[in-house]
């Protein structure tokens, strides 16, 4: 199997079965971990039991909260702290945070300050719990037109401003290829600030090998740079999900 640890997003890759069966299929495909979006609408006990039965880690789930609106700051902090406690209870290693929408009535700098403030307030709890919050920029050109944070550059600046070992960037190769390109250089030059990676091809958000990205080169460079976090499969398979997972594995460095 792949030298980089591999995680499977249960909502994207296997989306037509109960979650326990999705976990089993991820294990059969050779994954090291599973991940999912909002934990609040899941039976976490069942997912955790299935993951344990198949010797899989739970790599991550979403944290929740809107980070760009000062009026919602207290609620965002409470929401993320609740997610930290839940992640610690279930051995979930990372919490995925997105910025929320670009507030039309506020300038970018004030929104950035709000994001930094919220993440700074929850970082100590994450440090104590051994959970990493990973901030994910989302592309605005295709999938998330209202997202405040789209570029990895600005994401790294926010991570640096928070300055906590429990706050890093989620580098989604699909989103960043659409937003800015220059994938290999950005990954390798910032590997110490990346806590999780997502993969899907462009265009279409399907499995690696269906689009314009040379994933064998991307993943080889990522491994050579010393990245040791999960590579999360967050794509829509073009056909059989197991065949799609095999296509991913074929592009991992030996």
The H or E element containing residue 241 is helix 241-250
Note down the domain range covering 110. Answer: 6-250
**Does residue 25 lie within any of the structural domains?**
yes
**Does residue 76 lie within any of the structural domains?**
yes
State pLDDT tens for residues 63-91.
999 999 999 999 999 999 999 999 999 99
State pLDDT tens for residues 180-203.
999 999 999 999 999 999 999 999
State pLDDT tens for residues 207-233.
999 999 999 999 999 999 999 999 999
**Does residue 33 lie within any of the structural domains?**
yes
CATH code assigned at 85? 3.20.20.150
**Does residue 157 lie within any of the structural domains?**
yes
Q: Compute the C-alpha angle 234/210/57, nearest 5°.
A: 25
Closest among 29, 49, 47 to 39, alpha carbons compared: 47
Q: Please tell me the least confidently modeled range out of 111-115, 236-240, 243-247.
A: 243-247
Domain count along the chain: 1
**Does residue 1 lie within any of the structural domains?**
no
**Does residue 31 lie within any of the structural domains?**
yes
CA distance readout (Å), 158 to 152, 180, 252: 10, 17, 30
**Does residue 158 lie within any of the structural domains?**
yes
pTM exceeds cut of 0.85? yes
**Does residue 191 lie within any of the structural domains?**
yes
User: Burial of 226 by CB count in 10 Å (0-12 exposed, 13-18 middle, 19+ buried)?
Assistant: exposed
pLDDT greater at residue 153 or residue 104: 153
Task: Give the pLDDT band of residue 122 (cuts 50, 70, 90).
Answer: very high
pLDDT greater at residue 248 or residue 55: 55
Backbone angles phi, psi at 51, to 5 degrees: -60, -45
Other beta carbons within 10 angstroms of residue 181's beta carbon come to: 12
């Amino acid at each position: 199997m792949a030298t980089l640890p591999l995680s499977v997003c249960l909502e994207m890759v296997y989306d037509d079965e109960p979650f326990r069966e999705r976990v089993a299929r991820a294990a059969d495909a050779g994954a090291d971990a599973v991940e999912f979006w909002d934990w609040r609408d899941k039976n976490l006990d069942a997912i955790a039991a299935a993951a344990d039965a198949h010797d899989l880690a739970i790599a991550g789930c979403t944290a929740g909260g809107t980070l760009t609106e000062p009026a919602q700051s207290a609620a965002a902090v409470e929401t993320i702290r609740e997610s930290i406690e839940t992640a610690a209870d279930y051995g979930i290693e990372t919490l995925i945070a997105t910025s929320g929408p670009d507030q039309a009535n506020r300038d970018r700098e004030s929104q950035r300050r709000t994001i930094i403030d919220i993440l700074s307030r929850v970082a100590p709890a994450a440090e104590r719990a051994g959970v990493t919050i990973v901030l994910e920029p989302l592309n605005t050109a295709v999938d998330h037109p209202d997202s405040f944070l789209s570029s990895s550059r600005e994401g790294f600046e926010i991570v640096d401003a928070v300055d906590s070992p429990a706050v890093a960037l989620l580098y989604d190769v699909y989103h960043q290829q659409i937003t800015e390109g220059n994938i290999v250089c950005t990954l390798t030059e910032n590997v110490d600030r990346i806590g999780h990676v997502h993969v899907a091809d462009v265009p279409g958000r399907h499995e690696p090998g269906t689009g314009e990205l040379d994933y064998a080169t991307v993943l080889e460079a990522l491994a050579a740079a010393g990245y040791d976090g999960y590579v999360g499969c967050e794509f829509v398979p073009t056909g059989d999900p197991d065949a799609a997972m095999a296509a991913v594995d074929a592009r991992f460095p030996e």
